[in-house]
Amino acid sequence: MSLILKDINLQIQKGDGLGIIGPNGSGKTILAKAILGIVNVGGDISNDEFKSKIFVPFHSHLSLSNGHEVYRQQRWNKIDTDLLPKVMDEIRKIENQDLVEHLLNTFGLENFVNNHIVNLSNGEQRKLELLKALSSNPDLMVLDNAFTGLDKNARQLLAKMLNALISEGHTIVMTGLTLDDFPAEVKKIIFLKEGIMVHSGFISEFREKTAEKLNLGSENFVWADSQFNELINLNNVSLKYGNKVILDKISWQVNAGERWVLLGPNGSGKTSLLNMIFGDNPKAYGCDIRLFGKQKGSGESIWDIKKKIGFISPEFHQYVSGKQNVVNLICSGFNEIERVYKKSTGYQRDVALRWLKKLGYGKISDKNFDELSTSAQRVVLILRTLVKNPPLLILDEPFQGLDNSHIRMLKNLLNEIASNSNCAMIFVTHVPEEIPECFSNYLELKDGEIVNYK
């Protein structure tokens, strides 16, 4: 087993706000868990002076099921939903109900208490996870990439809450990828690189060290031009569940070579819109949707649609089985299946290995998915999205949890694909700095309606 942390000496005082920063794979999450005693990394760790402690993970730990297996598309198919837990089930576990009610209103979740947890968007699940942690009013709270997946308003609200907690004497430890990932009351910072603490001090004195640049390899791929001109045509598309309107009269056309940024706050309908296109939501068959020149429901199968689309989302990451081999998982993108049921061909494996080599990840080819860092997992899923050379890429928050060097590398990759093909792309993000330069079209949603289209 390789050494993850090396000779870390750290003292945290009550009332401290501490940020742990560093590139992907530097050991930030392991150190955060070690501070709470969640993982054993050796050495002498004492946190007994903190009576109540809580860890808020990057990936949601909310219970999505009551002992029944839950699959990603169940959010839209509504099968056996009565067996699944609701938001209120999580809320009832919290002792301080007055504070819960305040936080529900603050985060805008008051209208979601009767929703099943599996129906929440990635951002809404993150808000619920944070609400549970904040309502416990802990002496020591450790948050792993707390702002990831939250829209601008939610990030500002969380920063305000954390600032208030630190001012009241609570101790907050946070991991982040940039200095912007920490609220103002987080005064101290440590910088990790390859498990070593290379800097410790006040943020006001800290100058972020430049992480090692990740450049694209010399491996070249021929990205075939799409035979379709019109890829997506939505005409007055609406989506409702009961009295709740998810999408309201959406009209949108995406043509070959166009690169669209899809914007909107958490819960605005972005993911629902994308899954109407990708084929996971059966209600799409009752709408006026034309995909790749054919009316949806005119005889094509869901697999006919999926084989023309490369797709990644935070929800997809959450449901991927960790016991899959990296190369086989990438190869599953050729058939757009979410789990590996058959052996990949020699050609498919060769393509997957070439993609890994291009991004400098050739050494992980023999590992299982759950052995990888979060950043390496995200790179693998992006390669799975690209591997079959589709005419359309749907990239729902693809850079979540990645540091600046990885984001720059993947932005360069998407720019390279755009420069050498007419591949259309749809890119979702809450962080404008993540948008690759090749994107020039914008569609913005709010409460299921289009509020900006250019």
User: Is the pLDDT confidence value at 42 over 80?
Assistant: no
Pick from 201-210, 225-234, 271-280, 414-423: least confident? 201-210
Domain-embedded: residue 4: no
Shared domain check, 353 and 247: yes
Please compute the mean of the pLDDT values over residues 212-230 and round it to a whole number. Answer: 71
Shared domain check, 143 and 50: yes
Shared domain check, 405 and 285: yes
User: Is the pLDDT confidence value at 79 over 90?
Assistant: no
Q: How many CB atoms lie within 10 A of CB 187?
A: 15
**Confidence class of residue 440 from pLDDT cuts 50, 70 and 90?**
very high
H or E segment and range at residue 199 = strand 196-202
Give the residues across from 450 on adjacent strands. Answer: 445
- 51-69 pLDDT per residue, tens: 788 888 876 665 555 544 5
CATH number of the CATH domain containing 103: 3.40.50.300
- CA–CA–CA angle 190, 125, 381 (5° rounding): 70
* Phi, psi of 27, rounded to the nearest 5 degrees: 105, 15
Task: Write the DSSP assignment of 9-47 as a string of letters.
Answer: -----TT-EEEEE-STTSSHHHHHHHHHTSS--SS----
Give the residues across from 453 on adjacent strands. Answer: 443
CA distance 138 to 35: 15
Residues 6 or more apart whose Cβ sits within 8 Å of residue 107: 127, 130, 131, 154, 157
Shared domain check, 336 and 437: yes
Shared domain check, 249 and 389: yes
pLDDT score, position 81: 59
Domain-embedded: residue 333: yes
State both tokens at 26. 């530097």
State the sign of the Cα–Cα–Cα–Cα dihedral 156, 162, 168, 169. Answer: negative
State both tokens at 354. 């070439």
User: Is the pLDDT confidence value at 336 over 70?
Assistant: no
Q: Give percent of the chain with pLDDT exceeding 90.
A: 27
Shared domain check, 415 and 326: yes
* Phi, psi of 216, rounded to the nearest 5 degrees: -70, 140
- 121-171 pLDDT per residue, tens: 777 777 888 888 888 778 888 988 888 878 888 888 888 888 988 888 889
Buried b (16+ CB within 10 A) or exposed e, 94-130: eeeeeebeebbebbbbeebbebbbbbbbbbbbbbbbb
Shared domain check, 397 and 294: yes
- 192-217 pLDDT per residue, tens: 888 888 888 888 777 544 444 556 76
CA distance 209 to 219: 29
State both tokens at 382. 């992006």
Domain-embedded: residue 10: no
Of the two residues 268 and 227, the one the predictor is more confident about is 268
pLDDT score, position 275: 84
- Tally of domains within the chain: 2
Domain boundaries, position 75: 17-205
Shared domain check, 327 and 249: yes
Shared domain check, 279 and 169: no
**Helix (H, G, I), strand (E, B), or coil: what is residue 392?**
strand
Are the CB atoms for 19 and 189 separated by under 8 Å? yes
Please compute the mean of the pLDDT values over residues 17-24 and round it to a whole number. Answer: 88
Which of 205, 238, 257 corresponds to the end of one domain? 205
CA distance 334 to 237: 29
pLDDT score, position 76: 52
pLDDT score, position 212: 46
H-state helical runs in 307-345: 314-319, 326-331
Shared domain check, 165 and 305: no
Using CA atoms, how far residue 90 sits from 77, 185, 311, in Å, is 22, 29, 30
Pick from 19-23, 250-254, 333-337: least confident? 333-337
Round the average pLDDT of the chain to a whole number and report it.
Answer: 83
Query: What is the separation, in whole angstroms, between the first and last Cα of the chain?
Result: 52
Domain-embedded: residue 218: no
CA distance 246 to 240: 5
Domain-embedded: residue 26: yes
Which of 205, 240, 271 corresponds to the end of one domain? 205
Domain-embedded: residue 32: yes
User: Is the pLDDT confidence value at 357 over 60?
Assistant: yes
Shared domain check, 86 and 196: yes
Are the CB atoms for 366 and 326 separated by under 8 Å? yes
Domain-embedded: residue 1: no
Shared domain check, 115 and 77: yes
Give the residues across from 259 on adjacent strands. Answer: 425
Using CA atoms, how far residue 157 sits from 105, 131, 174, in Å, is 11, 11, 16
Q: In what order do the strands lie in the sheet with 441-446?
A: 309-312, 392-396, 424-428, 259-263, 441-446, 449-453
User: Is the pLDDT confidence value at 17 over 70?
Assistant: yes
* Phi, psi of 314, rounded to the nearest 5 degrees: -60, -35
CA distance 321 to 336: 15
